[in-house]
Structure 1
Amino acid sequence: MKVKLFLISLLLGVTTLTLSAQETVAPQAGTKPVYKTTFERGTAADHWFLTLQGGVGAQFLEGNEEKPFADRLQMSYSLSLGKYHTPSFATRLNLVGAQAHTYYKVGNDVMNYESSFVGAHYDFMFDMINHFSRYNAKRVFHIIPFAGVGYNLKFNKAFEDLHHTAAIDAGLQLQFRLGRRADLVIEGKAIYNNFNFTMNRCPRSIAWNPNAYNGLYGALTAGFNFRMGGVEWTEVVPMDYDLINDLNGQISSLRAENAELSKRPVACPECPEVVQPTTTEVMSDKTILFKFDSYRIDKNQMITLYNVSEYVKEHNTPILVIGYTDTTGDANYNLGLSERRAKAVTNALINDFGVSADMITTQWEGATDKLFDTKAWNRVVIIRSK
């Protein structure tokens, strides 16, 4: 009975160790929509943008209806500084300046009281395309509704009549990607300021409507958006399955070596001593994986770089660092990306782990699909003995 229990326990132990060393299937990054994905926030200097726009606008007042709509259009300008807090949510400070002429009727004549206004608004922006789609740093088209609160100041040419009010604004921005750091934007906006405008005096000695400055202002503008700091977002992967699989593989290899060593005799007096031939130390290939379109080294890859650095310093063995990408995208861009990945690994070995630059040769090969059958695994830097 004891023998049976011992055999059963041994079988369960072996089964558990075998299962723990089996490869776990890693989830691919970028497969879920943004609202179901967690991203790194980056530094305080990342994900800022500056937007410059110009266009036309008009007031929608009762007296202004005496004029044709095209004649009521005046110039409108805006300057915005903002920051994206996630790929789909941003806030901005929007400064607006515009002509806002007010028309009134005297007899059969329609008179124009020339006035202007400036305003500052704090807007909340929501990128609908990014929110409900998978994250793509190169997406061309974005639909971004926004809304906010602010304060407006209205005045005439001579600054004789100054009026101020709290305001709310809302609108829709269409964004078209021109490059990594620039976009073309088209924006429609409405500003409602019917809160506390009051007339201080009656200009030009007319019977002035005390609500002449109140109501709705609409504008249509276009311009350019410029992104500053870090642009791309990095998805947070809760667990690095590639690292786990690599460690499990090393554990399985060590177990096999230990089992082989246990079969050898402790001593063999009758056997003559065998002189082992001198061999050159050769390090097995090491891999550093990268996320899509990125040359940033993940923290959980640093253990591999540490092991490489210790090996090089202990055995004084020169190494070769070779960068690759997968076959997605333009070949020239991929060649440059593979160069940046290879140099990032080289710089980390030198600056972070103290490897002499004379011991490292850096190369880059661009796109490949020949290293691994899994496409994502070809976004890699391979380190091997030279």
Structure 2
Amino acid sequence: MNKKVLFLSLLFSCGIFSLSAQEEFSRDLIPDEVEYGQPNQTYNTYKTTWKKNAFKDNWTISVGGGAQILMGIDDNKGSFTDRVTFAPQISISKYFSPIWGLRLNFTGGSLHGFNDGSYGTYVKWNHGTKNYMGQSVVGTSGYPTTVGAGMLTWDPTWNSRWDLTTPSGVGYNQSIIGMDGDNYYWIPGRENGALYMDHVRYFQFNVDFMFDLFNLFGNYNPKRFFELTPFGGVGFYNSFSHMGNDNIMLVGAHAGLIGKFRLSEKFALHAEVSGSVVGDSFDGQTGDNQSMDGIAQATLSVAYKFGKTSWDVAAPMDAKLINKLNNDINILRESLANQKCPTCPPPPPPVEVRPTAPVQDIKFLPDPVFFRIDKSVIDQSEWMKIDKAANYLNQHPEVNVVVTGYADKKTAYPEYNMKLSERRAKAVSKALIERYGINPARVSINWSGDRIQPFTVNEWNRVVIFVIE
């Protein structure tokens, strides 16, 4: 009878460690049993709790290119075909749940802008003295020679874009440059609608927040053929010194939409449209009737996914079931303690044993405190174990306790697990001192991360153990 009760008690004790840990698990799927999720079930993505994947999972890199146009002052006056240029693109992204993720996006190239030289101030005027007012042509007929409003509209690099000499070879005269009050303007542009082309060479990278629209509002399906992903974020833009433009670095806003076509578990095709808004000085000119410059892009890229690409449902155990099993164990323990053995054989004669080295007697309280994966918050079901530890300390004022935290080895990396086990130990120590009034001098903490694994079952090592001194 005693052996049966003892066996049942041990069996339930092993089971309760797993249940008390509130383990988040997912079932192994049978291939072709279902399309997605757990067998014979679908899951609303937003309302479902998902198991956290490792940092190395759910990465995507995409490489491609497409078309882009600049939308600044007078740019809409140029022909569309002359404005369109090639836009290379590289992006690296990571999803932190089935719904949302972050990405770094890199692009650039040469943008074609247009200007009629009628209005606006060129950024070139405001940088240094070497190119101040086109030093090489200062004093030439028709050009300003003093600082003032005459700095407006005249571009010192027109001579690199156009042959502005007259047939007689005089060059740079009043037939080219006109005056409107104190402002200079280009006569062919204002009076005849002539345009000259700006060549803006630039580079940009963006940090974008993105979310999958169908997953947010529908069921989880990693095999969905098509997905829409809106995104938005901030960008850093640098236009380089080139053909009259100075080097300019700006911060702007970036947003767009990605259409994702699933080709296989690892490969996809991304069709993206995006727009950026930056400061008016980006293309080298400010003023006129436009206070911002814009960049529009449409690209097509091939994407490759790294690591695990799917997500598993986290299913915590029922707290009522855990409490019931804990009560069953307590009943079995009490029953075992009350059992008597009327026919026990006499004990063997005492044997004197002289140990060669002192043996350290280490005592553990029987109920460790388990934690959920990557958590240091004490679950409601675990408080009764801290309550037991506090009662023991109150009944034995001569002993002290070392609260030791651990983390499981299969989740995260050693440095992170060391900090996680520290937070767990401190949470339990704080509960003993502040909630149960245990003297802080009797409570010390220790943590071992995943260097030591007290249990053979990996998930049980998300734990805090009480060591009695």
Q: Normalization by structure 2: what TM-score? A: 0.42
Q: Are 2:216 and 1:131 aligned?
A: yes
Counterpart amino acid of residue 259 in structure 2? L
Q: Report the counterpart of residue 364 of structure 2 in structure 1.
A: none
Q: Report the counterpart of residue 99 of structure 1 in structure 2.
A: 110
1:53-72 matched pairs, under 5 angstroms = 53-72=64-83
Counterpart amino acid of residue 74 in structure 1? T
Number of aligned residue pairs: give it: 213
Q: Quick one: higher RCO (CA 8 Å, sep 6+), 1 or 2? A: 2
Q: Report the counterpart of residue 228 of structure 1 in structure 2.
A: 306
Deviation (angstroms), 1:196: 6.3
Counterpart amino acid of residue 123 in structure 1? D
Q: Report the counterpart of residue 384 of structure 1 in structure 2.
A: none
1:197-212 matched pairs, under 5 angstroms = 197=282, 199=284, 209=286
Deviation (angstroms), 1:133: 1.9
The Cα offsets for residues 83-106 of structure 1, whole Å up to 9 and x where unpaired, read as: 001111010011121321221125
The Cα offsets for residues 213-265 of structure 1, whole Å up to 9 and x where unpaired, read as: 9411101111111110111111112239xxx9xxx9xx9xxxxxxxxxxxxxx
Q: 1:213 to 1:103 in 2, by over 3 A?
A: farther
- Structure 1 unaligned spans of 5+: 1-25, 200-207, 252-351, 354-386
Contact 1:167 1:195 in 2 (8 A): no
Deviation (angstroms), 1:148: 0.3
Q: Are 2:45 and 1:34 aligned?
A: yes
Counterpart amino acid of residue 236 in structure 2? Y
- The two structures, once aligned, show a CA RMSD in angstroms of 3.1
- Aligned equivalents of 1:210, 1:221: Cα separation in 2: 31
1:320-335 matched pairs, under 5 angstroms = none
Q: 1:127 to 1:30 in 2, by over 3 A?
A: farther
Q: 1:168 to 1:131 in 2, by over 3 A?
A: same
Q: Report the counterpart of residue 315 of structure 2 in structure 1.
A: 237
Counterpart amino acid of residue 55 in structure 1? G
Q: Are 2:253 and 1:168 aligned?
A: yes
Between Structure 1 and Structure 2, whose CA radius of gyration is higher?
Answer: 2
Deviating above 3 A after TM superposition, structure 1's stretches of 4 or more consecutive aligned residues are 26-30, 156-160, 195-199, 208-214
- Structure 2 unaligned spans of 5+: 1-26, 28-37, 117-185, 329-455, 458-469
SS of the aligned residue for 2:46 comes to helix
User: Greater strand share, 1 or 2?
Assistant: 1
Q: 1:75 to 1:187 in 2, by over 3 A?
A: same
Contact 1:166 1:195 in 2 (8 A): no
- Aligned equivalents of 2:292, 2:109: Cα separation in 1: 15
1:147-158 matched pairs, under 5 angstroms = 147-157=232-242
Deviation (angstroms), 1:39: 1.1
Q: 1:215 to 1:158 in 2, by over 3 A?
A: closer
Q: Report the counterpart of residue 282 of structure 1 in structure 2.
A: none
Deviation (angstroms), 1:67: 0.9
Deviation (angstroms), 1:128: 0.5
- Aligned equivalents of 1:198, 1:217: Cα separation in 2: 11
Q: 1:158 to 1:112 in 2, by over 3 A?
A: closer
Contact 1:57 1:98 in 2 (8 A): no
Q: Report the counterpart of residue 165 of structure 2 in structure 1.
A: none
Q: Are 2:87 and 1:76 aligned?
A: yes
Q: 1:44 to 1:178 in 2, by over 3 A?
A: same
Q: Report the counterpart of residue 332 of structure 1 in structure 2.
A: none
Q: Are 2:273 and 1:215 aligned?
A: no
Deviation (angstroms), 1:149: 0.4
- Aligned equivalents of 2:260, 2:269: Cα separation in 1: 6
- Aligned equivalents of 1:31, 1:122: Cα separation in 2: 33
Contact 2:239 2:282 in 1 (8 A): no
Deviation (angstroms), 1:194: 2.2
Contact 1:172 1:189 in 2 (8 A): yes
Contact 2:213 2:227 in 1 (8 A): yes
